[in-house]
Amino acid sequence: MLLNQEVDYDKLGYAQHYCVHCARYFINDQALTEHFRTKVHKHRLKALETEPYTIQESETAEGFGSWVEAKKRKIETQQPLEDSESSDKRMRVESN
């Protein structure tokens, strides 16, 4: 699952703070929470509301069948971690 990834030292924030909608990694939970308030994230949510273009729609554009308006989906922002203790539990970094 993308929200509960294993620790990956090659990714930003060890792959523990990920925005599913924008497909971006963040350094910590605070940066992820701030990202949720940006225009970039809000525009991405707006773009995800319309369903993707399908083969049936392409066939109706050619004249096979009747045209149906694209449906809207309800997209909500994921919830960031509430407390810092759970953040520490999710991201275990071994130091030598």
pLDDT tens per residue across span 18-46: 999 999 999 999 999 999 999 999 999 99
The model's pTM is 0.59
94 domain-assigned: no
Question: 82 falls in which pLDDT band (50, 70, 90)?
Answer: low
3 domain-assigned: no
Distance CA 90, CA 50 (A): 33
- What are residue 25's phi and psi, to 5 degrees? -100, 150
pLDDT at position 79: 78
pLDDT at position 1: 67
Q: How many domains does the chain have?
A: 1
Cβ–Cβ contacts within 10 Å for residue 84, how many? 11
Range of the domain at 73: 12-86
